[in-house]
Amino acid sequence: MYLPKAIAGLRDATLAMLYPTACRVCGAMIESWRDGVACAKCWEEVQQTRWPEDFCTKCGLPLQPLPSQVQIEKRRCGRCDEMAFNYARACGPYEGALRESVLWLKTHPQISQRMRELLIATFFASPELQASESIIPVPLHPGRLAERTFNQAEIIAYALSSASGLRVDTASLARVKKTEMHRAGMGARERARTLEKAFHLRAPRLIENRVVLVVDDVMTTSRTAQEIAQTLIKGGASVVNVLTLARAVSMLVQ
């Protein structure tokens, strides 16, 4: 909804007075509703800590910066070579305002204006992502959907769809296995096993020979992206790309 700036400012001041909200990252007062659950300063930090120059050109994983005299045009992390997706990107690391926005979205079907702008900017910064022909939000198992009442990946998909004009496809892919929530300390092999055959392609004709963009809130390991990409490629998709709000990065790869 468009509001002249002065009226929007007045609305924000009134709402802040009625419902004062503290930034979930630093505790300061949030002055504008467009910032969602974090204050403007914490959002600026997200923008300043956007991915460093050095990252894997396929999966977007940040890599240790190279000495300035060394230049490699297409660096790869060495972990994603076997992955069935073509290209994965996130709006930034899973920390600060991005982390809090992802956590909020799990219980509230809302995406702040600030988060939306960052998502759209990340999409339009990449010709690979722009080549996508439809958006598939990572599906929830029907049992989990009933508990949660909404799928946060769909909220992200529709936000991106309204800016890009791409169709959201919720029909093609189903989650047929109610996987355990990934617990801290769960080994990579265990995570991979819980995701095996977790997805089923219901409507292959919607993805046949298409470039598909899979959308989710956070990429932790790449296992979910890999399982979905494999399912879609086997079903006839020509290319699978991935876009998430955030990427969990525990360490930089050499």
Contact residues for Zn ion, defined by CB under 5 A: 23, 25-26, 28, 39, 42, 56, 58-59, 61, 77, 80
Element (H, E) at 17: helix 5-18
Please say whether the beta carbons of 96 and 248 come within 8 A. no
Q: Which residues contact 98 (CB under 8 A, 6 or more apart)?
A: 46, 91, 92, 115, 118, 245, 246
Please, what is the minimum distance in Å from the beta carbon of residue 88 to Zn ion? 8
Please, what is the minimum distance in Å from the beta carbon of residue 90 to Zn ion? 12
Please, what is the minimum distance in Å from the beta carbon of residue 2 to Zn ion? 27
Task: Indicate the residue among 215 and 249 with the shorter CB distance to Zn ion.
Answer: 249
Please, what is the minimum distance in Å from the beta carbon of residue 112 to Zn ion? 13
Q: For 84-124, give the secondary structure using H, E and C.
A: CCCEEEECCECCHHHHHHHHHHHHCCCCCHHHHHHHHHHHH
Task: Indicate the residue among 56 and 138 with the shorter CB distance to Zn ion.
Answer: 56
The 3-state DSSP class for residue 9 equals helix
Task: Indicate the residue among 211 and 225 with the shorter CB distance to Zn ion.
Answer: 225
Phi, psi for 212 (deg, rounded to 5): -110, 140
Task: Indicate the residue among 77 and 229 with the shorter CB distance to Zn ion.
Answer: 77
